[in-house]
Amino acid sequence: MDIAARHDDPGVEELARSIYALFPRCVRCGGTIASYEDADVRILSHRVVHRGRCADDERAAEAVHAARPEIES
């Protein structure tokens, strides 16, 4: 089951918040994410990035990785 698709599930919301509490730094730019509202939590990979540009970069990197798994992102 793809739990990332269940955004309206309060358990998923709680999980995303606890991941953010553990990893309040963006894995893309290395900066601190000021609030949960500014964070884009990738639940399945336990990676946290800024909403907006960093999330776009993360999605692009995931797409490249999915197409060519031998490349480390």
Distance CA 60, CA 63 (A): 5
Residue for token pair 């884009």: 40
Triad 3, 6, 8: Cα angle to 5°: 145
Residue number, 5 or 45, with CB nearest to Zn ion: 45
The least CB distance from residue 8 to Zn ion, in Å, is 26
The least CB distance from residue 51 to Zn ion, in Å, is 9
Residue number, 5 or 34, with CB nearest to Zn ion: 34
Helix (H, G, I), strand (E, B) or coil at 48: strand
The least CB distance from residue 24 to Zn ion, in Å, is 11
Residue number, 29 or 63, with CB nearest to Zn ion: 29
| Contact residues for Zn ion, defined by CB under 5 A | 26, 28-29, 50, 54
Residue for token pair 């999330």: 55
